[in-house]
Structures are given as C-alpha cells and as structure tokens.
Amino acid sequence: MDFNDLLTGSLQQALGPTAVVYCLAAIGLNIHFGYTGLLNFGQAGFMMVAGYAMVTMSTIWGGSLWLGVLVGIVLTVILALLLGVPTLRLRADYLAIVTIAAAEIIRQVISAAKFSDKLGGQDGLTGFIKPFREVNPFSEPVGIDGLVRWGPNDFWVMTVGWSLVAVSCLVVWLLMRSPWGRVLKSIREDEDAVRSLGKNVYAYKMQSLIIGGLFGALAGFVVALRSATVGPSFFATDVTFFAYTVLLIGGAARVLGPVAGAVIFWFLITVLDLFFGQATAGANPIIPASIMNDTQASLMRLIFMGLGLMLLMVFRPQGLFGDRRELAIDAR
C-alpha cells in the first residue's frame, strides 16, 4: 500500500478541474435548493446546453469561444424560462420532475445519431480548445514537489475555474446578505407568508432559477475546457446528484459550502478509489480475490459514498459547515 500515492492522487483530484466543475454546479444548486427551496434535478441540463453552445459556436460556426460563452448564457436563461414558466406556480416537486426529465431530453436529443454530423453523437465534439490553450501562461507542470503536481493545461483550467468560483462566491455572498436574498430565504420557509406581504413570489423564484442555472452554465463551460471535448456522457443524471452530494456535504445555504463540499467530496472519492484499487491489485492483494476482485473494487467508492451521505444526513443534516438552526434539510 503506497500512502503517498493515495495522498497525491487525492489532492490532485480535490483541487483539480473536476472539483471546480462540481463546485460551480453546486453553487447554482445552492441558490436553487439551499436558499430558495427549489428542487432542480436537472442541473446537468443547464451545464450541457452551455457547454455545447460554447463548443458548437466554434466548431460549427467558426466563432470565438467568447461568442460561445455569450450564446451559452443566453440559451441557459431561455432554458430556465422554459422550465420555470409552467412549473414555478406549482408545488416544488413539479419542478423536480420537469427538470430531471428536461435534462435527459436534452441529453438524448444532442447525442442522437440524426445530429451526429454536427453534434458528434455519442462521441461528442473536439477541436475547439486551441484558442484557450494558446493563452495559457503555464508551460511547465505546476505543483509542490513530492506532494502534488498538475500538467500545465490542467493548471490553466484550474486557475480560470477557481477564479470563477471566487467571483461566484462573492456574487452569492453579495446577493444573500441583501433584502433580495432575504426574500429568497423567506420563500424557502413559507411562500404564502411572503405573498401575503406583497412580494411577487413567482418572479423571485424565476430569478433564482435563472441565476442558479447560470452558475450551472459556468460549470458546463469548465467541463468543455477541462476535457478539451464535450460529450453526452459528461452530462448524465448522476452529475446533478453528485453536485447535490457536494452541496449537502459542505452545507446548504452557506456561501462557501459548495467549495468545501467539492474539495472534500473529490478527496474522499479518490482516496476510496485508489485504496480499493491498490488493495485488490497485484499478485498477492491485501483483499483476496475471493472477497473482491479489482472490477468490483472500482464500485466500492460509490457504495462508501452513499453510506457516508446517509450517515451525514442522520448525524449532521446541516452538512459540515451549515448552521444547525438554519439547516435547509428538514424532516418535519
């Protein structure tokens, strides 16, 4: 068992580009679920629309990535409006059903064979990353010797990504200390009470859906930049649920909850993965093959993650950094 490997690999993931993606997605969900009480189960849909918009602008129409970002943002707002107009007047669970379905519809349509000449089908799209990497100031791997190291491209994505996270957290903090944020939190507590005080609840929920979706869009852009490709498999339903896990670990309705959650989530899941990988590898593994082989080992991280999430909900439902008195998950 090489513990140094475990630590290095886990740190690399905990601070790496993937953690950035889930952090941004969870910041969006924090606006939706943590502050407003909206159950958006289709964050992957927002990410996919934005990611594909950015990429197709350059692969199909030959535009710049910046134009792609702009189009992605516009399309995300349109998607939020499409989802919100029919459902936000209804009970919270309707939004959950509609968003999870919409995210799957978007994914199925984009990956359909019929559009594969333009959208790449299941293989996705590549060949847009050059302008991004051309402005990369890093040419050597970056890291701390003997502890962790990232390639220049990854580190460039991380630099851009964590900067986006910082700006996003600042925006969330500014919004949530304002009277606007107070109305959102009030809607989470009791819609009718807010309505009876003369606030247009529907409009506030719509604004919340759009803003949270826009953070999802940022996550979608980073997905594309991280992998230098976009494909339907990057935006499957489990992306949304991982993002929820990140949010719940860190603590909902906390500005820095998603940041802490993303780092911890990716650290733990990589440690578990590497541990079981090493424990079942080689000619004479620590865990004998009669108990578990290496294929089964790769699933253990998810089993432990699920177990951990259950324990977290039972013993610390407010997440690691949440305020117990103000926890958003409420069994009552």
Partner 1 sequence: MPDEKGTLDSGGTEMTLGPVRPASARRGFDVDVEASRRALADVDRTPGVAKPDPILTADNVVRSFGGLTAVDVDHLEVQRGVITALIGPNGAGKTTLFNLLTGFDRPDSGAWSFNGRSLNRVPAYKVARMGMVRTFQLTKVLSKLTVIENMRVGATGQRGERLLAAMLAPLWRSQEDDNTERADSLLERFLLDKKREDFAGSLSGGQRKLLEMARSLMTDPELVMLDEPMAGVNPALKQTLLGHVKSLREEGRTVLFVEHDMDMVRDISDWVVVMAQGRIVAEGPPDAVMADPAVIDAYLGAHHDVELTFEAEEQIHAEAEAEIEQEAQTND
Minimum distance, C-beta of residue 142 to partner 1, in the bound complex (Å): 33
Contact indicator for 81, 206 with CB cutoff of 8 Å:
yes
Measured in degrees and rounded to the nearest 5, phi and psi for residue 150 equal -125, 150
Minimum distance, C-beta of residue 109 to partner 1, in the bound complex (Å): 31
Nearer Cβ to partner 1 (93/189) = 189
Nearer Cβ to partner 1 (255/287) = 255
Minimum distance, C-beta of residue 208 to partner 1, in the bound complex (Å): 10
Nearer Cβ to partner 1 (68/84) = 84
Nearer Cβ to partner 1 (208/229) = 208
Q: For 161, which DSSP code?
A: H
Minimum distance, C-beta of residue 330 to partner 1, in the bound complex (Å): 8
Distances (CA, A) of 332 to 91, 183, 192, 328: 17, 22, 18, 11
Nearest to 34 by CA among 195, 199, 175: 175
Nearer Cβ to partner 1 (194/248) = 194
Nearer Cβ to partner 1 (200/298) = 200
Query: b/e per residue, 210-225, with b = 16+ CB within 10 A?
Result: bbbbbbbbbbbbbbbb
Query: Any residues with CB less than 8 A from the CB of 278 and at least 6 apart, and which?
Result: 1, 2, 5, 6, 286
Minimum distance, C-beta of residue 296 to partner 1, in the bound complex (Å): 43
Q: List residues binding partner 1 (CB under 8 A).
A: 171, 174-175, 177-183, 185-186, 188-190, 192-201, 207, 325-327
* Distance between CA atoms of residues 157 and 17, nearest Å: 6
Minimum distance, C-beta of residue 318 to partner 1, in the bound complex (Å): 11
Stated length of the chain: 332
Q: Cβ atoms within 10 A of the Cβ of 168, count?
A: 23
Write 91-99 long-range contacts (CB < 8 A, 24+).
Answer: 92/37, 92/38, 92/39, 93/39, 95/38, 95/39, 95/40, 96/39, 96/40, 96/41, 97/41, 98/42, 99/39, 99/40, 99/41, 99/42, 99/43, 99/45
Minimum distance, C-beta of residue 83 to partner 1, in the bound complex (Å): 19
Nearer Cβ to partner 1 (42/181) = 181
Minimum distance, C-beta of residue 203 to partner 1, in the bound complex (Å): 9
Nearer Cβ to partner 1 (36/280) = 36
**Structure token digits, residue 331:** 């069994």
